[in-house]
């Protein structure tokens, strides 16, 4: 069983998959290309990434890779919880600069699909949170880009106060959306 729910921005979805539990534990197909192709999602993932954030309030993002190394991302939480944000960065899009947010957790067993043309980031909601995500293009340092998580023109409503957030130097110095050429153009 696969449930797919649109999140209000073109191509951004919440995905829920079945979790089969018994006294030994559980089994879950977190990605099944055939089942998702049946509902119109066809992506070839090439790399899996995993992060551990030791503290509540760790911000990772807003990140994206510029073309030709643009990435679709399928994000899920292995342990803990995050508030995940996707921002439309496609020039000319009717929803350019708009964002959606979704809480992902190991308890909810939900995922978010963030397509190419969207910046992505999250903040941890509890300590020792582990996040796993699939990407459709390999990491390219020369195409790696960031946008300020607190860009006032985007206006993402993070559930952790700025004073309680922990950022990398790269994310703290990220430019505003109006200061970057993303490389994405709405069709």
63, 120, 139, 186: which one is catalytic?
A: 63
Query: Residue for token digits 């290309």?
Result: 33
Cβ proximity of 162 and 87 under 8 Å: no
Span 43-56, mean pLDDT? 98
User: In CATH, which superfamily holds the domain spanning 45-179?
Assistant: Jelly Rolls (2.60.120.10)
- pLDDT tens-place string over residues 114-128: 999 999 999 999 999
pLDDT at residue 1 greater than cutoff 90: no
pLDDT tens by residue, 152-167: 999 999 999 999 999 9
Name the band, by pLDDT with cuts 50, 70 and 90, for residue 139.
very high
- Over pLDDT 70: what percentage of the chain? 100
* Distance separating alpha carbons of residues 123 and 69, to the nearest angstrom: 24
Domain ranges of the chain: 45-179
Determine if the pTM surpasses 0.85: yes
Active-site residue, from 64, 120, 133, 143 = 133
What pLDDT score was predicted for residue 2? Answer: 92
Confirm if 171 and 149 have CB atoms less than 8 A apart: yes
Residue 92 is encoded by which pair of tokens? 């000319």
Question: Among this protein's residues, is 133 annotated catalytic?
Answer: yes
**Active site (annotated) includes residue 139:** no
Nearest in space to 62 (alpha carbons), one of 165, 187, 186: 165
Residue-averaged pLDDT of the chain = 97
């Amino acid at each position: 069983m696969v449930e797919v729910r649109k999140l209000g921005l073109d191509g951004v979805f919440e995905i829920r998959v079945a979790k089969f539990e018994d006294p030994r534990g559980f089994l879950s197909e977190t990605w099944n290309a055939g089942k998702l192709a049946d509902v119109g999602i066809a992506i070839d993932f090439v790399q899996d990434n995993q992060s551990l954030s030791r503290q509540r309030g760790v911000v990772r993002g807003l990140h994206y890779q510029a073309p030709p190394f643009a990435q679709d991302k399928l994000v899920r939480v292995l342990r803990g919880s995050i508030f995940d944000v996707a921002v439309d960065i496609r020039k000319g899009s009717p929803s350019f600069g708009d964002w959606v947010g979704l809480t992902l957790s190991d308890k909810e067993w939900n995922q978010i699909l963030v397509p190419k043309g969207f910046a992505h980031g999250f903040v941890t909601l509890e300590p020792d949170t582990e996040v796993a995500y699939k990407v459709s293009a390999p990491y390219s340092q020369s195409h790696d880009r960031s946008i300020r998580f607190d860009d006032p023109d985007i206006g993402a409503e993070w559930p952790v106060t700025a004073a309680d957030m922990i950022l990398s130097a790269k994310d703290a110095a990220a430019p505003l959306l109006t200061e970057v050429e993303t490389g994405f153009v709405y069709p």
